[in-house]
Structure 1
């Protein structure tokens, strides 16, 4: 059976080091060829400026900073993404990104991989 993320390059925007490392391992275990971790919006901007990504996992908030503008940039660039969030009020996401994949923290590896796969399939339509 082929891994769902086989050969993909994934960007992970996550400020919590242990969560970022966990997401990286989940993606690699499911076949991702490369996983880049960005802990700030500046690092994320630099990453997408210098490399091509097949998908991204975006933490909804980095400390007190919203990642909505970065997600909008991903959408404009045609990079499918999944929001990861520990917040329960996701009204802002629902209105700005209808149909966006949101994985609640804590999440399982299966949930994350399924959401990334769905985001990629939805983008290709």
Structure 2
């Protein structure tokens, strides 16, 4: 896609149509990119949290349908948070530059790890699949 051209001006499938997405990502530019990508694919609302304290303080867990979780935010592991998501039945994926896939697969079987750098399509398709939409990857 040409720089500066938004996906919303192209024909994209509404894989995230109406979903409320939490993006737990501490790198500002990546978070903004992911937020726009989710909106372009039809997400009803996208909330970006830059650390776990913000998630807990705002009570975001009850307010979203799915999450995109970086494995490390602000130097802290998000694995305990991911365990809480799994226990609550909230669909989520990991999106991270840390690529110890074996450890993640062992601790979180069935949860997709999309490694950075990733394509927008891969990320959206992984979220959609976690929510039972689109192909299972």
Structure 1 pair 49/21, CA: closer, same or farther in 2 (3 Å)? closer
User: Could you say which residue in structure 1 is the equivalent of 2:90?
Assistant: 79
Which of these two proteins has the greater Rg computed from alpha carbons? 2
- Structure 1 residue ranges without an equivalent (≥5): none
User: Could you say which residue in structure 1 is the equivalent of 2:24?
Assistant: 13
Structure 1 pair 25/11, CA: closer, same or farther in 2 (3 Å)? same
Structure 1 pair 50/106, CA: closer, same or farther in 2 (3 Å)? closer
User: Could you say which residue in structure 2 is the equivalent of 1:32?
Assistant: 43
Q: CA deviation at 1:101?
A: 0.8
Contact 2:14–2:42 (8 Å) recurs in 1: yes
Query: TM-score by structure 1 length?
Result: 0.89
Q: CA deviation at 1:71?
A: 0.4
Query: TM-score by structure 2 length?
Result: 0.82
Q: CA deviation at 1:87?
A: 1.6
User: Could you say which residue in structure 2 is the equivalent of 1:108?
Assistant: 119
